[in-house]
């Protein structure tokens, strides 16, 4: 498990490209036959990717988790962005096709990831955050999610946002997750931008061609920085940072939030003229 310490706005202002990427970009999440995880001290969020082949991959705790079982004091949100697969939760299988999600509550003893076809494996992206209560397990499909249409063609930011793990759809302790898909011909996400100092956010960029890149904007509104992001790479976004991007081609992203509240609209908007 990779460990990421918290970097302050003051030190981030002086980071070069290598330091920015080491602090905020997760480059490798999906290795065939493995589970890859990053433990971020931003709200103690765990970001992971599981790519099972012919054998199931169990989710196990380690020193950073600090408890005998991974979900003794945590909750878990899982998205499948690959071939069809299954999540085994305490002996019960839950089928997840592409863009399906599963909320797994605190107190779950065993979780394992399975692909239906090793030649077309599932690619399970997951986020885990600390929890204080056990809520019902729930599978959420794209049709179950709360759909919000955003943007205009004239602003090149037409997109569909789906709230999956969200108070209106699925009860959780603090984890909120969803998926945004950018329409063909549009390039921008989350612009005009915002911050939310009460919550950490993470973005997984996906559904991209091999040579497509997203230019992800981050940093303080008056001290912006950028990261060049490839397919199936993730961004850590602290509460003081903007989080916005534009792509050279088709892309989508899975977003997650954790922190003091679950109010999706709790945002501090930044005027375009204030960006530097």
Residues placed in the known binding site for Zn(2+): 194, 196, 201, 243
**DSSP bridge pairs for 202:** 236, 256
**What residues form the annotated binding site?**
194, 196, 201, 243
CA distances (Å), 50 to each of 81, 86, 122, 267, in order? Answer: 11, 12, 8, 31
Rg (alpha carbons) of the chain, rounded to whole number:
18
Give the side-chain half-sphere CA count within 13 A for 28: 7
Contacts of 134 (CB under 8 A, 6+ apart): 105, 106, 107
92: its two tokens = 């019960």
Q: How many CB atoms neighbour CB 1 within 10 A?
A: 13
CA-nearest of 27, 32, 4, 47 to 230 is: 27
Question: How distant, in Å, are the alpha carbons of 9, 49, 64, 110, 138 from that of 2?
Answer: 22, 12, 10, 22, 29
User: Exposure of 224 by Cβ count < 10 A (0-12 exposed, 13-18 middle, 19+ buried)?
Assistant: middle
Which residues touch 166 (CB under 8 Å, ≥6 apart)? 145, 146, 176, 177, 178, 262, 264
Helices and strands in the chain: count of H runs, count of E runs:
2, 24
Cα–Cα dist 229/94, whole Å: 31
Q: 253: which 2 tokens?
A: 């992203």
DSSP category for residue 256:
E
């Amino acid at each position: 498990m990779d460990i990421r310490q918290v970097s302050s706005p003051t030190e981030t202002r002086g980071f070069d490209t290598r330091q920015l990427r080491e602090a905020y970009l997760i480059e490798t999440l999906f290795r065939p036959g493995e589970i890859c995880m990053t433990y971020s001290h931003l709200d103690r969020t765990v970001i992971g990717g599981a790519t099972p082949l012919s054998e199931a991959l169990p989710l196990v705790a380690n020193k950073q988790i600090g408890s005998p079982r991974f979900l003794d004091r945590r909750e878990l949100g899982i998205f499948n962005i690959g071939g069809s697969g299954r999540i085994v939760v305490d002996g019960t299988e839950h089928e997840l096709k592409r863009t399906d999600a599963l909320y797994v509550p605190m107190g779950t003893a065993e979780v394992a990831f399975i692909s239906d076809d090793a030649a077309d494996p599932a690619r399970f992206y997951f986020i885990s955050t600390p929890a204080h209560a056990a809520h019902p397990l729930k599978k959420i499909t794209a049709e179950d999610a709360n759909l919000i249409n955003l943007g205009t063609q004239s602003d090149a930011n037409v997109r569909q946002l789906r709230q999956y793990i969200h108070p209106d759809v699925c009860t959780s302790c603090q984890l909120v997750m969803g998926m945004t898909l950018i329409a063909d011909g549009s390039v921008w996400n989350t612009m005009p931008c915002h911050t939310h100092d009460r919550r950490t956010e993470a973005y997984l960029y996906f559904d991209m061609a091999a040579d497509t890149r997203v230019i992800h904007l981050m940093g303080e509104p008056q001290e912006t920085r950028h990261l060049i992001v490839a397919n199936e790479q993730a961004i850590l976004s602290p509460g003081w940072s903007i989080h916005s991007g534009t792509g050279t081609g088709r892309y989508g992203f899975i977003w997650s939030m954790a922190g003091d509240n679950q109010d999706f609209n709790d945002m501090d908007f930044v005027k375009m003229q204030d960006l530097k």
